[in-house]
Amino acid sequence: MSSAHARSTSARHGGSARGARLLGARCTLVALGLLAALGACAPSYADGYLASFTRGLRAHREGRDDEARLAFDDAAALGDRYKDRAEALMLRARSEERLGLLDDAEATYGLVVAESRGRYHGVRAAFALLRIAEARRTLDEVLVRLADTLASHPDSGLVRGTLRRSLARLDEERGVEASLAWLDGLAPRLRATAAEPIVDFERAGRLAQLGRLAEARALYVAMARAHPYPAGALTDDAYYRAALLEERLGRPREAVLLLEEMLAPREAAYLGASYERPRFPEGRLRLGLLHAGPLGDRARGKRELRRLAEQHPSSRLVDDALWLEARLQAEDGEQARACATLGRLTELRATSRYLPCLPLVCTTMRARSDESCPAYLERELAEPALGATAARVSPARLEAERPEASEAQPEAGEAGP
């Protein structure tokens, strides 16, 4: 190697080493800066606040609400930030509720509302006051307070559960007609707010209960179209219920059109997933049953059932759809296809209820379970697929509504430090 070449090589290596040292130093500075920023973002509590709050939480969770109330009172007095004081007051009020001190709880929640100036804790406190009112006020007083609270806080996630809880009482004590009349009076106060579709959904449901099916169908559709995907939280429910009403009105083709309108905005997402709405798989299943049944296009019906398994692979309805498809294929003399469909079922749902029954549809298959075919499935096999099986997996009734997460109001204080 020449001396010039050696000097060149040494310079390059020396430069690389210096560059690596500089890069390492910069990375260290960046890391230290990030740690400092994270430390600056961490909450800073007043002296003694966190100890009192933690003591209160421990007592609250162990059912020692007298102790919890005192500890949260200390924390509220020590909290020098609004959110810290408000959270402690919310939990003090909740302890007072659990002790049956409802006057004290109302006063504490009222203090949170007054101090909040419309902020998050004040909204929670307003709905907590409604919860207390339900336990100790007349129905008329509750309804007045409910209307005012919904008008003041229409964006809250507590709106639907609270509304439905009071409507259930109104239905029971005065009847569905009274509930509908009250909702009709409330609706104008909530126009163009997030609570509008919730109220309209409840109105439509009561119209259907009263047998006013065409009006209910029209209101569901209007609500769904006024709050289209992806904004409307109840849009898929409204379309689905409207389609069921079309069936009850003897209009299966119109039901199909509504279900297709509901499913049209389904989007693909990363890695083959999609932005699902809970009613999408049910709508696809209903499409298959409508085509195979009332509309007389069994081939289209079978395709729709297969699309459910392909487009909604995580749905609980996948094995139901494939079982129905296989049964329709077997009834239509497509035995090889029926066996292939059941094979697909075993691949996708290794614990399906249908596995012990496979040989009853495809004689060349063996049962994929040591258990016997359930008696109710054997009884269904004695009927056409569009009989008892279809009625079980896709009941055509409005009462089959999915449970709502908002039914239970969360306890105040769950978001504490």
Q: Which conformational region is residue 412 in: left (phi greater than 0), alpha (psi within -120 to 50 degrees), or beta?
A: beta
pLDDT tens-digit map of 154-199: 999 999 999 999 999 999 999 999 999 999 999 999 999 999 999 9
**pLDDT score for 12:** 46
- What local confidence, expressed as pLDDT, does residue 337 receive? 97
pLDDT 10s per residue in the chain (417 long)?
555 444 444 444 455 555 555 555 555 555 555 554 444 555 678 788 999 999 999 999 999 999 999 999 999 999 888 899 999 999 999 999 999 999 999 999 999 999 998 888 999 999 999 999 999 999 999 999 999 999 999 999 999 999 999 999 999 999 999 999 999 999 999 999 999 999 999 999 999 999 999 999 999 999 999 998 888 889 999 999 999 999 999 999 999 999 999 999 876 655 444 467 889 999 999 999 999 999 999 999 999 999 999 999 999 999 999 999 999 999 999 999 999 999 999 999 999 999 999 999 999 998 777 889 999 999 999 999 999 999 999 987 765 444 343 344 444 444 444
Identical fold between 45-136 and 138-256: yes
pLDDT for 30 equals 52
- Count of C-beta atoms within a 10 Å radius of residue 113: 21
Q: Is 353 within 8 Å of 338 (Cβ atoms)?
A: no
- Residue by residue, DSSP assigns 222-235 as HHHHHS-TTT-TTH
Q: How far apart are alpha carbons 88 and 75 in whole angstroms? A: 6
CATH architecture entry for 45-136: Alpha Horseshoe (1.25)
- Give me the architecture of the 138-256 domain, per CATH: Alpha Horseshoe (1.25)
DSSP 356-393: GGGGGT-TTSPPSSSSPPPHHHHHHHTS-TTTHHHHHH
- Looking at residue 412, its pLDDT comes to 44
- Write down the domain spans for the chain: 45-136, 138-256, 278-399
Residue 104 pLDDT = 96
For residue 88, what are its two tokens?
């402690």
Is 279 in contact with 239 (CB distance < 8 Å)? yes
Confidence (pLDDT) at 366: 86
Spatial separation of the C-alpha atoms in residues 342 and 417, rounded to whole Å: 52
Close Cβ partners of 266 (under 8 Å, ≥ 6 residues apart)? 274, 275, 276, 280, 311
pLDDT tens string 235-272? 999 999 999 999 999 999 999 999 999 999 876 655 44
